[in-house]
């Protein structure tokens, strides 16, 4: 599928007002709509105002949708089932996982510990009824002669904001119909057809339910494994709501430490809480070292992993999402190891940018020199999810000259993707903010398999996160971005 020419796309984008006084009239309408539809965060708690633990604040959003090339959107949506299959096959290729992750050495203690748990699980022969993959492939639209969607990363653990993303799309449709964006839309056109439907509100719950059915115990429960003091509660509660209202599956919320304290594994490898069997443990935590401050959290995770309960993601899926795997996939012939059809493999590769090791190989040493010489062309990434960990621009030489050769193995180098900026209007903390922004598009993927048969393999909706153009990171929960929806052009 051909992309749209950059000049043509830029000419077709709408023009939004940047007059905050003119736009102030929309704030009360927007904030009240958010409150009525659960588009909310918990307020940050403070030691001196404990009542804030139950206070709610509106989620940060855009007032109107942001332009994305329709051709790019359609391409990455159609590609998602292929990526689901690719990463499932990676997770099942033990030799590939071992050889790739061992190349990290001891540079990354967190990834090493997850890897060692994976090896222990294999050695002990823990059997699971199925795998459930809840993924998200993230893209930026790279501005060349033609606009092309280029993959930022593939998330296999705790891919968040699926629920709130769909709600933001509903908000933008409401605002279009209620106000016609009068005073905001200064030039161009917005139609309802340009805001695509989004099934991300339902797809994750339905995917978990499909795996739950394969577990084979209708009276069991799902445990959503969460972070202590989680603020993004309602994005999670809407998954819980879908599980209960559509599938009549009960969900409990526990931290890893609470799993250690309250759960046991019986002689039949069942994970139990107060005698209640747990079929699925859906991780909305566990993707960063900060989620494991003590041995209690690691012990809680191991209880899940050694039991019959289906972990979402599995240890193999978690490891398949490491940045090192992403980098090695870009090497010649590696995608083709998992995808036989040459045309399909080529479609996957078209979404890649340059990815390089930062180890002591000749390729790694060359990449290090490239990064030191022209740091503004690249981003350095550790084996992390969640936002706030990547290194950009002038900070790259500072990092690379301060770490040891062994520590440098834990990072990869990636070409910087340059998306075209757009003048948008954000609503954050009840205030209108005008800004030049860029948007990152995520496509959710749902994959369920019993090891022999693929039960579900589909795209599961989308997420658009928008951030100020001069901000490098893109995580909403980390405070860098707002939730948006695409306006297809």
Annotated catalytic sites, by residue? 136, 153, 155, 160, 323, 381, 385-386, 465
Decide if 112 contacts 322 (C-beta within 8 A).
no
Residues 6+ apart with CB under 8 A from 45: 52, 53, 229
Residue 381 in contact with residue 387, Cβ under 8 Å?
A: no
Number of Cα atoms under 13 Å in the Cβ half of residue 119: 12
Query: What span, in angstroms and rounded, lies between the C-alpha atoms of 345 and 367?
Result: 25
> How far apart are the C-alpha atoms of 348 and 83, rounded to whole Å?
8
CA–CA separation, 360 vs 321, rounded Å? 23
Angle subtended at Cα 259 by Cα 253 and Cα 265, rounded to the nearest 5 degrees: 125
The dihedral through the CA atoms of 100, 357, 470, 425 has a sign that is negative
Residue among 151, 186, 160, 199 nearest 335 (CA): 151
Distance (Å, whole) CA 155 – CA 440: 14
């Amino acid at each position: 599928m051909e992309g749209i020419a950059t000049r043509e796309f830029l000419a077709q984008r709408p023009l939004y007002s940047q007059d905050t006084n003119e736009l102030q009239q929309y704030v009360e309408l927007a904030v009240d709509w958010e409150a009525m539809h659960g588009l909310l965060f918990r307020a940050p708690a403070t030691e001196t105002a404990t009542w804030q633990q139950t206070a709610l604040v509106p989620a940060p959003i855009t007032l109107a949708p942001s332009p994305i090339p329709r051709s790019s959107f359609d391409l990455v949506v159609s590609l998602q089932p292929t990526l689901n299959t690719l990463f499932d096959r990676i997770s099942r290729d033990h030799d590939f996982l071992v050889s790739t992750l061992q190349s990290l050495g001891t540079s990354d203690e967190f990834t090493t510990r997850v890897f060692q748990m994976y090896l222990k699980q294999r050695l002990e022969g823990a059997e699971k009824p199925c795998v459930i993959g809840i993924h998200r492939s993230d893209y930026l639209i790279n501005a060349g002669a033609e606009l092309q969607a280029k993959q930022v990363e593939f998330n296999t653990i705790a891919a968040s904001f699926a629920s709130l993303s769909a709600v933001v799309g509903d908000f933008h449709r409401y605002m279009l119909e209620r106000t016609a964006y009068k005073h905001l839309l200064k030039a161009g056109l917005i139609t309802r057809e340009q805001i695509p439907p989004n099934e991300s509100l339902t797809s994750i719950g339905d995917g978990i339910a499909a795996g739950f059915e394969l577990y084979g115990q209708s009276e069991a429960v799902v445990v959503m494994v969460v972070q202590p003091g989680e603020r993004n509660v309602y994005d999670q509660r809407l998954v819980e709501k879908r599980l209960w209202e559509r599938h009549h599956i009960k969900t409990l919320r526990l931290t890893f430490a609470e799993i250690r304290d309250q759960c046991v594994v019986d002689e039949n490898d069942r994970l139990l809480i107060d005698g209640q069997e747990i079929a699925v443990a859906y991780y909305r935590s566990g993707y960063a070292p900060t989620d494991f401050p003590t041995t209690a959290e690691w012990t809680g995770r191991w209880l899940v992993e050694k039991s019959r309960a289906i972990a979402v993601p599995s240890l193999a899926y978690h490891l398949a999402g490491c940045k090192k795997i992403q980098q090695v996939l870009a090497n010649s012939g590696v995608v083709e190891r998992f995808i036989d059809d040459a045309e399909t493999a080529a479609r996957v590769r078209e979404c890649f940018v340059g990815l390089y090791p930062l180890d002591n190989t000749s390729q790694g040493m060359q990449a290090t020199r490239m990064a030191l010489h022209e740091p503004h062309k690249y981003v350095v990434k550790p084996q992390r999810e969640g936002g706030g960990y990547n290194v950009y621009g002038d900070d790259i030489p500072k990092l690379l000259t301060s770490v040891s050769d062994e520590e440098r193995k834990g990072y990869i180098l990636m070409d910087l993707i340059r998306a075209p900026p757009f003048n948008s209007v954000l609503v954050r903390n009840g205030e209108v903010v005008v800004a030049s922004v860029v948007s990152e598009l995520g496509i959710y993927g749902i994959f369920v398999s019993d090891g022999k048969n693929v039960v579900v393999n589909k795209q599961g909706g989308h997420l658009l996160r928008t951030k100020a153009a001069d901000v490098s990171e893109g995580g909403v929960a980390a405070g860098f971005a707002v939730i948006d929806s695409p306006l297809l052009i």
